[in-house]
Amino acid sequence: MIIFLLFLSVFSPSWAKEPRLVEMSLGIDMKPPEEFSRLPARNVNTAWTTMPLDHFDHQNPTNFSMRFMFNEQFFGGDGYPIFILVGGEWDILPGWLMAGNMFEMARENKGYQVYTEHRYYGASKIFANFTAENLRFLNIDQALADLAYFITDMKKQPRFADSKVILYGGSYAANMVMWFKMRYPHLVVGTVASSGPILAKVDFFEYLEVVHEAFWLEGGEQCIAHIRQGIEETVASMQTEEGRRRLEQAYRLCEPLNYDNVYDLGQFSGLISWTFSTSVQQAFPGSLISICNNFNDNTYGSTPMEKIGGYIARIRNLSSNSCWQINYQSFLDSYMLPTNSRAWYYQTCTEYGFYQTAPTSGTVFDGLKWLSLDFYVDICKKIFDERFDEAFVKAGADRVNLVFGALAPEVKNTINIHGYIDPWRALGVYKEDVSDTSPTYTVDRASHCFDMRAWSSSDTIAMTAVQQRARRIVTSWLS
């Protein structure tokens, strides 16, 4: 018996499953067009520029290095236009200067392509330690000023002195380009804003409403019924010991959930909702239908709850020797390193909210009530500062809405594009034009930032038409 136990203790690590933490999908990881993500950076170079750390305190002499990339393969010479792809809460990658709709614009107009990195993200981190103190210089005002300095510096080169500048941005960077055009109208002739959630909103329950609607539009009532039954069975299973064991098995959890801790349950609810969100945010025509087909023909599992657990494992690529670790403290710990995720969480606490809470309007996600505002705001308090409470977070969002005009920005020459099944469009202007010179295009069956990519065989005619329309408008601004 003793020998057996020894044997167990020596070998159990290799039998134990590898715990994996769930990543929250609040920020966007802007992967380059698929086919170019792994290719060498053809024609794309990386460079660095010096930026003041604090644009609004002239007495602070501290600088930092901001990374950018450029591609001059199409550049026609003196006075030809500059196209700047604006980086958001992610690492800039060369693939975006090798394909996509801005690449086509540069080709058609003999433009010079640039991709700027947002301060505190990617290799433009500034600080080795992201304390709340060090993150003070991470905000939209500083980031827009970085762009203004960047453009002004570029235009000091004689070849760019007469060049017109176009900005293109997706997601948070779509807000940036629109707001840049409002604040520095003299520096750019026009901007393309792809999927911009320009309304800062702390309790963003509309997000999961659109996720629900997207599955309904693509997969119909039957698909919704599968998801609803699976989530209802999950919530009901929490009531009994026997149900809890079935739940832990269906979702492949490493250890029993802490059913007494609302934050552990919030994280578990997120494992479910953030996976459905990811599927919708990255959807292309046909992708949600194939998920729904898998629900129908038991590909993910047999019981309604097993289907949800199996779907999550499949979509998130959980390997057979791994399990999900649901533990609020480990979740918080994973946010302590100076990563893009931590920087973006800081911006949600101080500027945007954007917290994807459980709706109460009859969606399949209503039962996941642990996805509360308190859950998301508690993270602000725990990983940054106890003072970052709900009132603080709401005041930050109010400030952004006050400064930039919320859903009624006064902005010229901005092409405002949305995908109808993109959950972020709920915080954008998607029903009407932004202004006389800033048209809106909202495309059915399209999702987040669809227009930025290169043409794909799954694109609908309407998607391609909007990309072309944007290119024609940009060309007219340049003529």
Ligand X SMILES: *[C@@H]1O[C@H](CO)[C@@H](O)[C@H](O)[C@H]1NC(C)=O
Q: Which residues bind ligand X (CB under 6 A)?
A: 50, 61, 63, 129, 131, 317, 319
Instruction: Give the nearest distance from C-beta 10 to ligand X in angstroms.
Output: 27
In whole angstroms, what is the distance from residue 390 CA to residue 453 CA? Answer: 37
Instruction: Give the nearest distance from C-beta 129 to ligand X in angstroms.
Output: 4
**What angle, 0 to 180 degrees and rounded to 10, lies between the N-to-C axes of helices 304-315 and 206-237?**
130
Q: Residue 414 is encoded by which pair of tokens?
A: 């901005």
Which C-beta is closer to ligand X: that of 134 or that of 437? 134
DSSP output for 68-133: EEEE-TT--STT--EEEEEP-SS---GGGGTSSHHHHHHHHHTPEEEEEPPTTSTT----SS--TT
Q: Which residues of 243-255 are buried (b: 16+ CB within 10 A; e: fewer)?
A: bbebbbebbbbbe
Instruction: Give the nearest distance from C-beta 190 to ligand X in angstroms.
Output: 29
Do residues 66 and 146 touch, judged by C-beta distance below 8 A?
A: yes
Length of the chain: 479
| Closest CA relative to residue 428, chosen from 180, 193, 90 | 193
Which C-beta is closer to ligand X: that of 50 or that of 152? 50
In whole angstroms, what is the distance from residue 58 CA to residue 36 CA? Answer: 42
Which C-beta is closer to ligand X: that of 321 or that of 361? 321
Instruction: Give the nearest distance from C-beta 367 to ligand X in angstroms.
Output: 28
454 — phi, psi (to 5°)? -75, 160
Instruction: Give the nearest distance from C-beta 131 to ligand X in angstroms.
Output: 5
CA–CA–CA angle 279, 280, 283 (5° rounding): 85
Which C-beta is closer to ligand X: that of 63 or that of 239? 63
- The DSSP bridge partners found for residue 47 are 68
Instruction: Give the nearest distance from C-beta 384 to ligand X in angstroms.
Output: 11
Which C-beta is closer to ligand X: that of 50 or that of 330? 50
- The DSSP bridge partners found for residue 70 are 45, 114
Which C-beta is closer to ligand X: that of 16 or that of 336? 336
Instruction: Give the nearest distance from C-beta 61 to ligand X in angstroms.
Output: 4
Which C-beta is closer to ligand X: that of 43 or that of 319? 319
Instruction: Give the nearest distance from C-beta 336 to ligand X in angstroms.
Output: 8
Which C-beta is closer to ligand X: that of 17 or that of 246? 17
DSSP output for 117-177: PPTTSTT----SS--TTGGGG-SHHHHHHHHHHHHHHHTTSGGGTT--EEEEEETHHHHHH
